Amino acid sequence: MNKQIELNIDLRQMVLAIETAVDLVGMNDTNHGKRVGFIATQLANKLGYSDKDIHYIFELGLLHDCGVSTEQMHSNLVNHFDWEDAHIHCEIGYKLLKNFEPLSKFATPILYHHTPFEELKNLDIDPKDAKMANLIFLADRIDVTAASHYGSDILLARDTILKSIKDYSEKYFDPAFIDAFIEVEKSEAFWIALEDRHITRYTWDMGLFDTESSLSLKQLKQLSLIMAYIVDQKSPFTAQHSSRVGCLSKYIAKCYGLNSEQCEKIEIAGFLHDIGKLRTPDNILEKPGKLTNAERSIMDQHSYETFEILRHIKGLDDIASWAAFHHEGLNGNGYPFHPSKKDLSIEARVIAVADIFQALAQNRPYRDGMDLDKIISILDEFVDSGKLDKDVVSIAKQNSKKCFDIAIGNAVENKESEIPLFSF
């Protein structure tokens, strides 16, 4: 096992992946975290912060909304300057990161990033955490106020945006931060840089900086579980789906005889396989009946979104493809890539079986979870049609009771991949 402990996965690239995934919840606005990171760095630079602190505030901007999983929550956050339930996603984000050492330094600022300045300055927290939280709050509200003007009249609207933000000085924001914003916004370049095509490039450039921090296999698994939690909270009908698919994939892979490194990486791919579903509208995921062709065409995009999020992370190439191929069939009738049979690796075949097995066992809005006999019957039908690998399904059938226990969360394997602090 020692050989594969260090995977040399860059932490910032994983942070960028989390931001990309969470911003998919915004549907037609997928750059909010990037813009908040940019705005915060410009303010920090004007305030004379060190390069180290500027990089910190950039990553904090990327991560600040990691507690957002649903369209409704996103909509409330962008449509109300001070939404009364904004604290919910702050608390979720805090609990997601506080026990994950590589990102725990962001937990407290995330917890307080919607706390007004007049309240924040009286709290017993580290002064630096308080400053970082308020700086992100300001950057976040600047972006929300400006969002409707990007791509159209942002330079014409800047005075109105500035006036609106200044009105919240003292009560919501540190006046020193407002003063920095007054100076920064004088540059047209500041506003133009917030356009989609430019902010994406800025984020890419920031991602090239070496963080000198790589993740061990154990840490990558922890972070993958955090990402799995985020996507599984998209709907109560998918709660723990990703974590259970990961556990089941690993178990089937072990029974199949794959080596320990393959099994560990298959589990991670299972945790991450549905991350692209954050782009799927809530009403489609929770529809109680059959999807229309239009709705199905939207649903069928999620595994490609998974691929796009993961493929940019150096060192995750194989995991990205295994995760993204979870709806592909050996007969070429899956989606969205239609790889040839020889290009559908055994790891991807295992995850495909685990995904179907767990989905059938789980309650969905259009049906109750199925019993073991019915699940086996459907898996056999998929083998007969050429969709699923016969040998992998045979392994699942030989160990069907244990597979079923894992699929419904009634197994030791699941306990290792559940984070009890994530219940709200």
Active site residues: 277
Q: Tokens 């600040």 appear where?
A: 64
**120 contacts 111 by C-beta, under 8 angstroms:** no
List CB contacts of 403: < 8 A, sequence separation 6 or more: 248, 251, 252, 357, 396
Contact call for residues 120 and 128 (beta carbons, < 8 A)? no
Residue 255 CB contacts under 8 Å (≥ 6 apart), including other chains:
395, 398, 399
- Under DSSP, the state recorded for 367 is B
Contacts of 157-163 with CB under 8 Å at 24 or more apart are: 158/185, 158/191, 161/185
3-state secondary structure of 338: coil
Distance, CA of 272 to CA of 221 (rounded, Å): 10
**Eight-state DSSP code of residue 187:** S
List CB contacts of 270: < 8 A, sequence separation 6 or more: 242, 245, 246, 247, 248, 249, 250, 323, 351, 354, 355
Residue 215 pairs with which residues in a beta bridge? 9
CA pair distance 135, 172, nearest whole angstrom: 11
The amino acid that residue 30 corresponds to is T
Q: In angstroms, rounded to a whole number, what is the distance separating the alpha carbons of residues 90 and 310?
A: 25
